[in-house]
């Protein structure tokens, strides 16, 4: 609060020391054929009927001597039940009639009446406002536009009567009609781009949320939606396109959108920046704010509009303070925080300018009026970069996993070739070759411990000799060591720019593999660690006993939790079955099976129970496909299966029976609780090599998508009606 007070004090002093030149004349405004656009703010006179004592509109003429120059008043930003009167004098400076438009660029003024003075009486020319249906406006425009005509050399006093439940502001512009239309065309292009970008980002992030299922994206979508609607309200597009014939909603929409946007912006910040970890106390404060804001969301429908406006302004002020606290708290403590600081710093600047204008600490200009929009647009782009960066990080993690898988696969392949070896030295020699091949290191040795003080080289593939202190080699026996140069405990008669030491400790063998290179080492520490651990595991398994080898081979084929084929091995087997089916001219069906509402099971009973449910369903599926085909785990709670010699009808019948079997056999917890289960199944069928396995998977996936989006617990076959 002290920070906010200091900011406000600064602007008060600034505008006191450096006042703007607001002196202007309220003389008659002369209009000619050359007049294209004119800001009337300097030519308006102003009167406030605070207690609404003027019942007859023409009675305002009795108070003409109490009108003041509008620019010398401080009415802009008021929230009250007062009635505001504006007056200007317009004169046609030519002998021919002139038609023009008067535009009030404040789209949510509740009631506006326009009068002309005729023989000491006010004649009503038009009546409109935010509280009227949009269709009542003479000119269908997001702002309030009034067509007027002056006869040749005619002079006319024009009065505007305004009352509003929100902040009072009245920027009044006089337009030549053709110029007005040209300007609106330009504005529509700008707004089209702005809202197009915002809607595109909402759709883009919606797809990301559907794909990733992360709350961060959901909260960002809701914030972005609320912010876009809020901008549409402020621009007047909401009353034109969203609730044009629903003024009751229109009058309350501004307060509702402010609270909604503030609520989800803080929820997004909390999850995106992981405030539970970075700033637990601030996270709890935000939790309280979220609860209060959720309750306050219904207030605009219960209180009068003026109170709702003030309440929403208070919520936005608290939101602003919390955002400042977040910015101060996270600063640049993480990669996400840097993006957040940049993006929300710009948005904060736009919002701050708008709030200062609302509290009359800054003049109402294009920048202050549309500050949130400008800041929001930049914020969207910056946060888009942040989300793209997050996706790139996921891709990089995926690349590392693929590299890890490649290394493990390559090692596995090499060790599989040693599966028939019974000689220890031959196995060590071949393992060293494999290690050198994977690392691309051209030198390698295996050092074996003969006794406590004696080590000997039993496999040497180094171009030059190597020596070491036997008593110091124990230092490297605790874990693998990737090094960029030779350690002091060893002497190499060549330059070493990369070294990987992998210790081996078995009952019958203790030693270490060392591979090294005199070229630039392109193997990073993470890959080296993965490689070393994989190699170590494989070698120990090979050297331990044949059962360990069989176990390792099995781990490359089956999913460890469900005991079904893993995804890679399933597709290898599927291709084999596919080729045989084609040779024998037999049909083949592919099924994608998804457990319905598995996430809910995890959330309700915990992941341990969820795993038990997954294993239970897997056993049922495995039993069903025995002697009929193969089944594997496709990922998460999804399974993939091949049904041999099964056409469309047979595969559909089989899948329907399978679905009913699971439906009729819920999972029973020891506590006596029953967990109902159901499946969504998508099927595709191939006959006579008409489709590849990839095409079958694609069609089955489309069928599964349809099944899940049409109620779940059903079987859909792509090829059946």
CATH number at 653 reads: 3.30.70.270
pLDDT at 79: 60
Residue 518 pLDDT > 60: yes
Q: 355-380, pLDDT tens digit by residue?
A: 787 666 788 676 776 677 777 778 77
Confidence of residue 21 (pLDDT cuts 50, 70, 90): very low
Confidence of residue 209 (pLDDT cuts 50, 70, 90): confident
Residue 46 pLDDT > 80: yes
Residues 70 and 131 placed together within one structural domain of the fold: yes
pLDDT at 20: 37
Angle between helix axes 424-439 and 371-416 (nearest 10 degrees) is 150
Angle between helix axes 607-625 and 598-605 (nearest 10 degrees) is 140
How large is the average pLDDT for residues 436-445?
Answer: 85
Least confident of 313-317, 368-372, 681-685: 368-372
Return the C-alpha torsion angle 90, 93, 94, 100, nearest 10.
-30
Residue 534 pLDDT > 80: yes
Average model confidence (pLDDT) across the chain: 82
How large is the average pLDDT for residues 308-330?
Answer: 82
What percentage of residues in the chain have a pLDDT greater than 90? 26
The structural domain count of the chain equals 4
DSSP percent split of the chain into helix, strand, coil, nearest 5 = 55, 20, 25
**Angle 700-704-709 from CA coordinates, rounded to 5°:** 150
Measure the CA–CA gap between 434 and 459, rounded to whole angstroms: 13
Confidence of residue 25 (pLDDT cuts 50, 70, 90): very low
Are β-strands 715-717 and 679-686 bridged in parallel, bridged antiparallel, or unpaired? parallel
Boundary (domain end) residue, out of 115, 147, 175: 175
pLDDT at 553: 63
Residues 120 and 232 placed together within one structural domain of the fold: no
Measure the CA–CA gap between 238 and 152, rounded to whole angstroms: 39
Residue 599 pLDDT > 90: yes
pTM: 0.54
Residues 204 and 338 placed together within one structural domain of the fold: yes
CB atoms within 10 A of CB 157: 17
Measure the CA–CA gap between 188 and 184, rounded to whole angstroms: 6
Q: 692-702, pLDDT tens digit by residue?
A: 899 999 999 99
Judge whether 186 lies within some domain.
Answer: no
Boundary (domain end) residue, out of 555, 586, 608: 555
Return the C-alpha torsion angle 19, 25, 26, 28, nearest 10.
-150
pLDDT at 76: 59
Judge whether 401 lies within some domain.
Answer: no
Residue 101 pLDDT > 60: yes
Residue 484 pLDDT > 90: no
Q: 423-437, pLDDT tens digit by residue?
A: 777 788 888 888 888
How large is the average pLDDT for residues 103-107?
Answer: 87
pLDDT at 717: 93
Confidence of residue 332 (pLDDT cuts 50, 70, 90): low
Residues 143 and 208 placed together within one structural domain of the fold: no
| Cα torsion angle, 419, 420, 423, 427, sign | negative
pLDDT at 371: 75
Q: Please state, in angstroms and as integers, the Cα–Cα distance from residue 379 to each residue in 197, 235, 460, following that order.
A: 12, 19, 61
Residues 470 and 321 placed together within one structural domain of the fold: no
Q: Which domain holds residue 651?
A: 567-717
Judge whether 616 lies within some domain.
Answer: yes
Residues 478 and 583 placed together within one structural domain of the fold: no
Measure the CA–CA gap between 705 and 682, rounded to whole angstroms: 8
Residues 259 and 311 placed together within one structural domain of the fold: yes
Residues 550 and 607 placed together within one structural domain of the fold: no
Phi and psi torsions of 304, nearest 5°: -70, 165
């Amino acid at each position: 609060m002290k920070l906010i007070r200091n900011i406000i004090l600064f602007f008060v002093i600034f505008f006191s020391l450096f006042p703007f030149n607001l002196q202007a004349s309220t003389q008659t405004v002369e209009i000619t054929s050359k007049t294209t656009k004119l800001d009337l703010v300097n030519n308006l006179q102003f009167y406030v009927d605070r207690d609404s004592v003027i019942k007859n509109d023409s009675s305002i003429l009795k108070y003409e001597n109490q009108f003041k120059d509008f620019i010398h008043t401080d009415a802009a930003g008021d929230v009250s039940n007062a009635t505001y009167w504006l007056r200007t004098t317009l004169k046609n400076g030519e002998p021919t009639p002139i038609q023009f438009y008067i535009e009030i660029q404040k789209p949510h003024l509740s009631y506006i009446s326009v009068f002309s003075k005729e023989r000491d009486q006010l004649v009503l020319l038009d009546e409109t406002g935010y509280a009227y249906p949009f269709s009542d406006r003479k000119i269908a425009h997001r702002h309030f536009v009034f067509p007027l005509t002056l006869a040749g050399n005619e002079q006319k006093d024009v009065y505007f009567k305004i009352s509003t439940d929100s902040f009072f502001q009245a920027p009044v512009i006089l337009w030549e009609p053709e110029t007005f239309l040209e300007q609106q065309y330009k504005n529509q292009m700008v707004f089209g781009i702005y809202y197009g970008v915002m809607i595109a980002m909402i759709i883009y992030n919606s797809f990301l949320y559907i794909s990733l299922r992360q709350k961060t994206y959901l909260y960002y979508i809701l914030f972005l939606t609320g912010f876009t609607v809020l901008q549409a309200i402020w621009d007047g597009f909401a009353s034109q396109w969203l609730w044009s014939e629903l003024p009751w909603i229109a009058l309350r929409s501004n307060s509702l959108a402010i609270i909604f946007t503030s609520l989800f912006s803080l929820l997004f910040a909390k999850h995106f920046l992981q405030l539970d970890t970075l700033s637990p106390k601030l996270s709890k404060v935000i939790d309280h704010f979220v609860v209060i804001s959720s309750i306050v969301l219904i207030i605009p429908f219960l209180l009068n509009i003026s109170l709702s406006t003030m309440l929403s302004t208070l919520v936005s002020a608290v939101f602003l303070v919390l955002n400042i606290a977040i910015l101060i708290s996270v600063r640049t403590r993480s990669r996400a925080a840097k993006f957040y600081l940049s993006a929300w710093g710009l948005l904060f600047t736009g919002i701050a300018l708008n709030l200062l204008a609302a509290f009359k600490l800054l003049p109402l200009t294009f920048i202050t009026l549309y500050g949130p929009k400008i800041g929001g647009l930049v914020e969207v782009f910056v946060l888009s970069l942040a989300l793209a960066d997050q996706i790139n990080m996921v891709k990089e993690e995926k690349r590392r996993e693929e590299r890890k898988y490649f290394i493990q696969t390559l090692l596995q392949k090499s060790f599989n070739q040693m599966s028939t070896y019974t000689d220890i030295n031959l196995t060590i020699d071949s393992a060293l070759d494999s290690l050198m091949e994977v690392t691309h290191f051209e030198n390698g040795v295996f050092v074996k411990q003969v006794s406590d003080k004696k080590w000997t080289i039993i496999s040497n593939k180094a171009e030059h000799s190597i020596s070491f202190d036997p008593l110091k080699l124990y230092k490297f026996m605790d874990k693998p060591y990737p090094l960029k140069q030779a350690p002091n405990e060893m002497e190499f008669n060549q330059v070493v720019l990369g070294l990987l030491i992998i210790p081996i400790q078995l009952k019958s063998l203790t030693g270490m593999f060392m591979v090294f290179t005199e070229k630039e080492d392109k193997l990073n520490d993470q890959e080296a660690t993965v490689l070393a651990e994989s190699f170590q595991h494989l070698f120990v398994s090979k050297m331990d006993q044949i059962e360990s080898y069989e176990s390792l081979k099995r781990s490359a084929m089956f999913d460890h939790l469900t005991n079904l084929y893993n995804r890679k091995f399933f597709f290898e087997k599927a291709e084999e079955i596919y080729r045989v089916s084609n040779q024998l001219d037999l049909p083949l069906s592919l099924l994608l099976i998804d457990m319905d509402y598995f996430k809910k099971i995890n959330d309700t009973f915990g992941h341990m129970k969820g795993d038990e449910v997954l294993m239970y369903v897997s056993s049922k599926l495995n039993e069903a496909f025995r002697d009929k085909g193969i089944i594997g785990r496709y990922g998460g709670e999804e399974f993939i299966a091949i049904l041999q010699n099964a056409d469309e009808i047979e595969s559909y019948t089989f899948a329907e029976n399978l679905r009913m079997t699971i439906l009729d056999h819920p999972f029973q917890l020891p506590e006596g609780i029953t967990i109902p289960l159901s499946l969504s199944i998508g099927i595709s069928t191939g006959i006579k090599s008409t489709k590849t396995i990839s095409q079958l998977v694609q069609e089955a996936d489309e069928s599964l998508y349809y099944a899940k989006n049409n109620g779940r617990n059903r079987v859909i076959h792509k090829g059946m009606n």
